[in-house]
Amino acid sequence: MNGNATTTHRNVALLSVTSLMAPLITTSEEIDRRLMPVLTRLKLPTGLLQRVAGVYERRNWGPNETFDDAAVKAGKIALKEAGIKPSDVGLLINTSVTRKHLEPSVAVRIHHGLGLPSSAINFDIANACLGFVNGMTLAAQLIDSGQIKYAVIIDGEDADEIQTNTIDRLGRPGIKRKDFMSEFASLTLGSGAAAAVLGPADAHPGGHRILGGVTRAATQFNGLCVGSVDGMFTDAKALLKGGMELVVSAWTEAKRDWSWSNMDRYIVHQVSDVHTNAIVKATGMDKTRVPLTYPTLGNVGPASIPITLSQEASKLQPGNRVLLMGVGSGLNTAMMELVW
């Protein structure tokens, strides 16, 4: 049966959201220089990342930094800003796409790093770039049900290896234009970390109410964007077409329960100019209310939405309505409304 899954929350607030930027900057001009031999051979122009994707820079970690250490740091800052003791946390959800190994979970390393109690449930959620919003929804449901009081949602991403592998592979003999374009999206990825703390709204009147939202699946498109540490391979045209069909379907049906045409901010998953412009056109949202971080940070996977929200937070006023929304590989879409 086609349709949205709709969730509403009665007593949940976002108490803090923080981000941690990787310190090293890799410019698109630098990537062009490294790819110059293959660009010349394939007769492709320089500046594609800037002109097509709108990505001018992305971040990378230093030699002694790791994505999970950064996630722990972001989590500690988020707990401090929320005024919540680690001992009071009942749930930790890690949503990182990046992982050093298949098991154990990334969450156990972060749980230990944050000094959370043994009673705090901890696990990973993997749903491509929608993981953070999905994690917030699940945590909100557990808070509403009274099973837990406070939750930490956390994400750390490291695009360094995939960036290096992609550039090395594209420089090999035999690479054709279609091969280059299928890996183009890998060159937009960046590194970073983010964390959020959720808790009961009635105990924190200064928090930002999470009202609920929708999700919708179009998993017939599961092969259009497939990624690993080796690279991310996409059928860009089919992915954009399928993604926009999914967004429009979810947006249209959501009108029965929600009114999102005049939000104060739209915090969308940060991908590219093409992706953002397509969403703006498909939904009719006001582009001036769509803050962008991908021009200088690239696509930081599931961390993109909380990073963008964190950077925009100081500009928001009490009572502002905020919609978090994105499309994740697979395909899935999610939209969540908050009141600041």
Report domain extents, the chain: 207-339
- Residues designated as active site: 103, 129
* Confidence at residue 236, expressed as pLDDT on a 0 to 100 scale: 85
Q: Helices (H), strands (E): how many in the chain?
A: 12, 14
Q: ω into residue 309 within 30 of 0, thus cis? A: no
* Confidence at residue 297, expressed as pLDDT on a 0 to 100 scale: 98
- For the full predicted model, state whether its pTM sits above 0.75: yes
Q: By C-alpha distance, which of 62, 81, 59, 110 is closest to 15?
A: 81
* Confidence at residue 229, expressed as pLDDT on a 0 to 100 scale: 78
Are the CB atoms for 9 and 144 separated by under 8 Å? yes
Distance CA 39, CA 34 (A): 10
Distance CA 101, CA 322 (A): 35
Distance CA 302, CA 329 (A): 11
Distance CA 221, CA 331 (A): 6
**Which residues does the chain have with pLDDT short of 70?**
1
First to last CA, the chain: 34
CATH 3.20.20.100 fits 207-339, yes or no: no
Burial of 86 (0-12, 13-18, 19+ CB in 10 A): middle
The CA-based angle 288-17-80, given to 5 degrees, is 150
* Confidence at residue 230, expressed as pLDDT on a 0 to 100 scale: 78
* Confidence at residue 309, expressed as pLDDT on a 0 to 100 scale: 98
